[in-house]
Structure 1
Amino acid sequence: MDCIKAFVVGGLLCAIGQILIDYTKLTPARILVSFVVSGVILGGIGLYEPLVKFAGAGATVPLTGFGYSLANGVREAVDSEGLIGALTGGLCASSGGITAAMLLAVLVALIFHSHDKS
């Protein structure tokens, strides 16, 4: 049942993004940024936590989950380290995912050689 919940919630988040692409003049970059910012805002005011508890990876893997991770990292760091945690908490909380994305991008770039379509 957990997999079904994750699939439905993650699919709904992706469907929202697809609807925004199809029916608005927003660029994909603006949609991605708005997803991260909405995750930060919803995580900061405590509305994203129930969704994470319900859907697990369906809520934490999309970009809104990245924003939620940033907000949680800042909150925890401010609680433990004070005001300096506002500057370091988000990076500490999300550094694992950022590092994995960068390493995999380098690995893929080394294995596959890009070329022009023409």
Structure 2
Amino acid sequence: MQAYLMAFLIGGLICVVGQLLMDLTPLTPAHVLVLFVVVGGVLSGMGLYQPLIDLAGAGATVPLPGFGHALVSGTIEDVNKYGFWGIFSGSLRATASGIMAAAVFGLFAALLFNPKG
């Protein structure tokens, strides 16, 4: 039960911060998206995002900073395993399933529904 509560609270807090950034600053949703991915990547590179994931689980991996974390942690892992070439393979290996799911679900949505004109 505590794991669900922490996922809800941390994930909700991340979303609240994003909403406040869009409401109280001139940042657009695209700016906030990029900012969150970069912040997640930077925190991951500094070793600070994994403890948040350990605490919040999906509440920290599902929002956008979790994507930045996956990019950086996958790259670090592949660099340690394959050396220089891991720079190119790590982020793709770590995020390929999420990117593919977004593309497939986007295709299905485009085939099933008509956009508003």
How big is the shift at 1:115? Answer: 2.8
Unpaired runs of 5+ in structure 1?
none
Q: Which amino acid aligns with 2:47?
A: G
SS of 1:83's equivalent in the other structure is helix
Residue 76 of structure 2 is matched in structure 1 by: 75
TM-score, length-normalised on structure 1?
Answer: 0.96
Which residue pairs with 2:25 in the alignment? 24
The one-character-per-residue Cα deviations of 1:59-101 (angstroms, maximum 9, x if unpaired) are 0000000000001100100000001101210011000000001
Q: After the TM superposition, which parts of structure 1 deviate over 2 Å for at least 4 consecutive aligned residues?
A: none
Give % identity: 48
2: distance between equivalents of 1:16 and 1:43? 19
Q: Could you tell me which amino acid in structure 1 is paired with residue 101 of structure 2?
A: A
| Pairs within 5 Å for 1:1-16 | 1-16=2-17
- In structure 1, what is the Cα distance between the partners aligned to 2:84 and 2:101? 28
Pairwise CA distance, 1:113: 1.2
**Structure 2 unpaired stretches of 5+:** none
Provide the alpha-carbon RMSD of the alignment. 0.6
1:114, distance to aligned residue in structure 2 (A): 1.2
